[in-house]
């Protein structure tokens, strides 16, 4: 789209909002969904007001219900965890290794679970050979993917987000595909797609294959989750730039990796194929226990620390019923940041700092860290 048409679209949408006109599903939202489906090679795509609601909708549409058991990494995003708990599901948290992969998934013996929800964290795809192998041995377990940090990442030439029954991603402002706030869901399964419309897209016109769903089209079974139309204009622009931005960041990650892997007392995740990275979030991840080393790095580069709550320590965040008791009477005084694993040593060279600085500058600064 040229600049003139883009401005007209923004102005028309904004005027429509100001004048209280109907803003539900302008044609360009459906076009954007088709564009995203084509990009990822997925049959269906649905936009949402947030990644969290896309997640909750996908979970329900895939059949997650009270007492379903979901396997999730300890690095899962909190509102995804609580989305599952709200439905009444129970969670088993899985450890992760220094490569930010689910640890020893092949060794999990008969986990007695219904779902595996993987998160491709910080731009790095999970090793899908290991995951698919695990699913091959556990045919009753359905795979869902959270691609919020990995838009455009691939595993062996296939986009992450297309390996399981469905996937979702956040389009919150700091994500590679940004709507300011928003979310996306991808699936190849028409039934999951249509159920998702019924669950969270009240009054969306659709020619349902499953006519019985139509009964609920004006109910909003899970609430209302349609995306803000201005956000989708922005997301459409960031989709234009996704490949280029990913390409630039892959180069920078490779440079950083090659320096960081040789620094004493730093552990970096092993990355075998930089061309498979995509999306990116928070920054370049590494582990460090040595305070002196950290101070040295901090004096040269911008570093942030992993600081999401450690939900896996408490029954209230493992058992759906206990969680729902908690939210009906919020009274919880235990500390949430006492990690007993590598999360306490997980840091990032900050993403915006990497974006802002040239490869030359980054190399110069890293060259001086030993």
Ligand X SMILES: Cc1ncc(COP(=O)(O)O)c(C=O)c1O
Nearer to ligand X, 50 or 68 (CB): 50
Question: Min. distance of Cβ 51 from ligand X in angstroms?
Answer: 3
Cα 78 to the center of its chain, rounded Å: 11
Question: Min. distance of Cβ 149 from ligand X in angstroms?
Answer: 5
Question: Min. distance of Cβ 211 from ligand X in angstroms?
Answer: 32
Nearer to ligand X, 50 or 162 (CB): 50
Nearer to ligand X, 176 or 255 (CB): 176
The pair of structure tokens assigned to 8 is 């007209």
Nearer to ligand X, 182 or 362 (CB): 182
Closest CA to 336 of 364, 300, 311: 311
Question: Min. distance of Cβ 165 from ligand X in angstroms?
Answer: 17
Cα-flanking dihedrals φ and ψ of residue 91, to 5°? -120, 135
Nearer to ligand X, 52 or 234 (CB): 52
Specify the DSSP class assigned to residue 213: G
Report the distance separating Cα 245 and Cα 268, nearest Å. 22
List residues binding ligand X (CB under 6 A). Answer: 50-52, 77, 79-80, 119, 146, 148-149, 170, 172, 183
Residue nearest ligand X by beta-carbon distance: 51
Question: Min. distance of Cβ 146 from ligand X in angstroms?
Answer: 5
Nearer to ligand X, 80 or 301 (CB): 80
Vertex 168 angle, CA 164 and 173, to 5°: 150
Question: Min. distance of Cβ 183 from ligand X in angstroms?
Answer: 5
The pair of structure tokens assigned to 145 is 């993917």
In sequence order, the β-bridge partners of residue 93 are: 72
Q: Cβ-count burial of 322 within 10 angstroms (0-12 exposed, 13-18 middle, 19+ buried)?
A: middle
CA distances from 303 to 70, 226, 241 (A): 33, 36, 26
In sequence order, the β-bridge partners of residue 187 are: 44
């Amino acid at each position: 789209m040229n600049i003139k048409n883009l401005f007209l679209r923004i102005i028309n949408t904004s005027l429509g909002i100001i004048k209280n006109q109907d803003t539900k599903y302008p044609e360009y939202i459906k076009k954007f969904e088709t564009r995203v489906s084509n990009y990822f090679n997925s049959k269906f795509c649905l936009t949402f007001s947030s990644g969290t609601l896309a997640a909750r909708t996908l979970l329900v549409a895939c059949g997650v219900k009270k007492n379903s058991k979901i396997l999730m990494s300890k690095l899962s995003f909190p509102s995804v965890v609580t989305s599952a708990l709200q439905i009444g599901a129970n969670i088993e948290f899985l450890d992760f290794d220094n490569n930010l992969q689910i640890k020893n998934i092949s060794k999990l013996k008969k986990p007695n679970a219904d779902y595996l929800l993987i998160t491709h964290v910080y731009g790095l795809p999970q090793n899908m050979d290991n995951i698919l192998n695990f699913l091959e041995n556990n045919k009753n377990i359905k795979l869902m993917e959270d691609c919020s940090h990995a838009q455009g990442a691939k595993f062996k030439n296939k986009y992450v987000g297309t390996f399981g029954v469905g996937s979702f991603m956040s389009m919150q402002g700091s994500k590679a595909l940004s709507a300011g706030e928003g979310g996306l869901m991808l699936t190849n399964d028409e039934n999951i797609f249509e159920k998702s419309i019924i669950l969270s897209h009240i009054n969306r016109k659709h020619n349902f294959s499953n006519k019985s769903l139509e009964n609920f089209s004006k109910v909003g079974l899970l609430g209302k989750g349609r995306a803000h139309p201005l956000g989708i204009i922005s997301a459409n622009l960031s989709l234009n730039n996704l490949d280029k931005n990913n390409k630039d960041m892959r180069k920078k990650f490779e440079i950083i990796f090659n320096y960081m892997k040789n620094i004493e007392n730093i552990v970096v995740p092993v990355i075998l194929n930089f061309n498979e990275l995509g999306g990116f979030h928070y920054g370049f991840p590494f582990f460090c226990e040595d305070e002196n080393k950290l101070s040295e790095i901090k004096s040269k580069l911008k570093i942030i620390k992993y600081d999401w709550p450690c939900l896996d320590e408490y029954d209230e965040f493992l058992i759906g019923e206990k969680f729902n008791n908690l939210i009906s009477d919020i009274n919880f005084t235990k500390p949430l940041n006492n990690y007993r694993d590598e999360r306490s040593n997980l840091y990032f060279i900050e993403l915006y700092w990497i974006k802002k600085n040239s490869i030359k500058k980054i190399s110069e600064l890293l060259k001086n860290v030993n």
